[in-house]
Structure 1
Amino acid sequence: MTLSFDASLLQAHAAILLSALLPIYFGAQASIRIPKSVKKAIKAAKAVSAGASSDADAQADDDDDDDEDEGDIDRLTSSDALLFPILGSAVLLTMYLALKYLDKDMINKLISAYFAVFGVLGFARMLVYFGKAAIGEAKKENRYKLRLTKGSQEEFSFVFSYLHLGCLAFSIIFTAAQLYTRHWILSNLLALSFSYNAISLMRLDSFKTGTLLLAGLFLYDIWWVFGTDVMVSVATNFEAPIKIVWPKSLTADSGFTMLGLGDIVIPGIFVALAQRFDFEQAVAKALGPVATATQKQIGEPSIRAANLPVTPSDGFAARYPRPYFVTCFVAYIVGLVVTIGVMNVFKAAQPALLYLSPACAGSVWLCAVYRRESKQYWSFVDGQREDSEKSEQAKDEKKER
Structure 2
Amino acid sequence: SADRKQSESSRLQLSALNASDSNGTEALNATAKFVATPEGTALAYGSLVFMALLPIFFGALRSVTCSKSKNAADMPETITSRDAARFPIIASCTLFGLYLFFKMFSQEYINLLLSVYFFVLGVLALSHTMSPFMCRMFPESLPNKQYQLLFTQGAGEAKEEILNYEFDTKNLVCLLISSVVGVWYLLKKHWIANNLFGLAFALNGVELLHLNNVSTGCILLGGLFIYDVFWVFGTNVMVTVAKSFEAPIKLVFPQDLLEKGLGASNFAMLGLGDIVIPGIFIALLLRFDVSLKKNSRTYFYASFLAYIFGLGLTIFVMHTFKHAQPALLYLVPACVGFPVIVALIKGELTEMFRSVTTSSVEFLPTSPRLSSFPTVSGSPASLASSMDTVSMATGLSPRRRRVQLSCM
Q: TM-score, normalised by structure 1?
A: 0.73
Q: What is the SS of the residue equivalent to 2:64?
A: coil
Amino acid at match of 2:355: F
Q: What is the SS of the residue equivalent to 2:73?
A: coil
**Alignment correspondent of 2:93:** 90
Which of 44, 48, 56 is the aligned partner of 1:12? 44
**Aligned-pair CA distance for 1:331:** 0.4
Q: 1:94 to 1:275 in 2, by over 3 A?
A: same
Q: Please say if residues 143 and 159 of structure 1, whose CA atoms lie closer than 8 Å, have aligned partners that are also in contact.
A: no
**Alignment correspondent of 1:51:** none
The answer to whether structure 1 residue 381 and structure 2 residue 338 are counterparts is no
**Alignment correspondent of 2:25:** none
**Aligned-pair CA distance for 1:135:** 4.3
Q: Please say if residues 145 and 157 of structure 1, whose CA atoms lie closer than 8 Å, have aligned partners that are also in contact.
A: no
**Alignment correspondent of 2:312:** 337
Q: What is the SS of the residue equivalent to 2:246?
A: coil
Q: Please say if residues 66 and 75 of structure 2, whose CA atoms lie closer than 8 Å, have aligned partners that are also in contact.
A: no
**Alignment correspondent of 1:215:** 222
Q: Equivalences for 1:153-168 in 2 at 5 Å?
A: 159-168=166-175
Q: Please say if residues 141 and 161 of structure 1, whose CA atoms lie closer than 8 Å, have aligned partners that are also in contact.
A: no
User: Which segment is superposed worse, 213-222 or 25-34?
Assistant: 25-34
**Aligned-pair CA distance for 1:154:** 9.3
**Alignment correspondent of 1:105:** 108
Which of 254, 258, 277 is the aligned partner of 2:269? 258
The answer to whether structure 1 residue 187 and structure 2 residue 194 are counterparts is yes
**Alignment correspondent of 1:277:** 288
**Aligned-pair CA distance for 1:246:** 1.0
Amino acid at match of 2:53: L
Q: CA RMSD in A?
A: 2.9
**Alignment correspondent of 2:124:** 121
Q: Please say if residues 82 and 216 of structure 1, whose CA atoms lie closer than 8 Å, have aligned partners that are also in contact.
A: yes
Q: 1:123 to 1:71 in 2, by over 3 A?
A: closer
CA distance in 2, matches of 1:103, 1:155: 35
**Aligned-pair CA distance for 1:16:** 0.6
Q: 1:141 to 1:328 in 2, by over 3 A?
A: farther
Moved over 2 A (4+): 33-36, 71-74, 129-132, 134-162
User: Which segment is superposed worse, 90-99 or 338-347?
Assistant: 90-99
Q: Please say if residues 210 and 280 of structure 2, whose CA atoms lie closer than 8 Å, have aligned partners that are also in contact.
A: yes
**Alignment correspondent of 1:176:** 183
**Aligned-pair CA distance for 1:143:** 6.4
Residues 264-294 of structure 1, C-alpha deviations (whole Å, 9 max, x = no match): 1111111111111112222xx6xxxxxxxxx
**Aligned-pair CA distance for 1:71:** 5.5
User: Which segment is superposed worse, 86-95 or 71-80?
Assistant: 71-80
Q: What is the SS of the residue equivalent to 1:349?
A: coil
Q: Please say if residues 24 and 196 of structure 1, whose CA atoms lie closer than 8 Å, have aligned partners that are also in contact.
A: yes
Structure 1: runs of 5 or more not aligned: 37-64, 286-319, 391-401
User: Which segment is superposed worse, 363-372 or 335-344?
Assistant: 363-372
Residues 304-345 of structure 1, C-alpha deviations (whole Å, 9 max, x = no match): xxxxxxxxxxxxxxxx42111111111000000000000011
**Aligned-pair CA distance for 1:141:** 8.2
**Alignment correspondent of 1:326:** 301
Q: 1:143 to 1:159 in 2, by over 3 A?
A: farther
Percent same amino acid at aligned positions? 42
**Alignment correspondent of 2:379:** none
CA distance in 2, matches of 1:34, 1:80: 21
Q: 1:174 to 1:350 in 2, by over 3 A?
A: same
**Alignment correspondent of 1:240:** 247
Residues 88-141 of structure 1, C-alpha deviations (whole Å, 9 max, x = no match): 111111121122221011111111111111111111000113334x54999998
